[in-house]
Amino acid sequence: MAGPAAPAGPHIAWLPRLNAINTPKRRYQHMPTIRVELFEGRTVDQKRAFAQAVTEAVVKTLGGSADGVDVVFYDIAKQNWATGGKLWSDPPAAKPAG
């Protein structure tokens, strides 16, 4: 059997205000997070330009504001990615002669 419920009172009235203070306003917007997986080696300038271009495309296509668009980059080493059962870090197969 559960004990009596705690009485509602002023001690919980601060919770909504605390959440509003600690949560950035932009998180309330319903915009996407774009996950970008790519081989490591791109420069910061390339990522910056890509993030700007993707953000502009999202805002143009879906509406909203740029402040609501998140772009997250995942740099992946070639030995951690395989296609068709072969690691990208493996040397290319020799082409048959002829």
Residues with a catalytic annotation lie at: 32
**13-27 burial: b if 16+ Cβ within 10 Å, else e:** eeeeeeeeeeeeeee
Q: How far apart are CA 84 and CA 98, in angstroms?
A: 25
* Strand, coil or helix: 82: strand
Distances (CA, A) of 6 to 3, 9, 19, 59, 84: 9, 9, 21, 46, 59
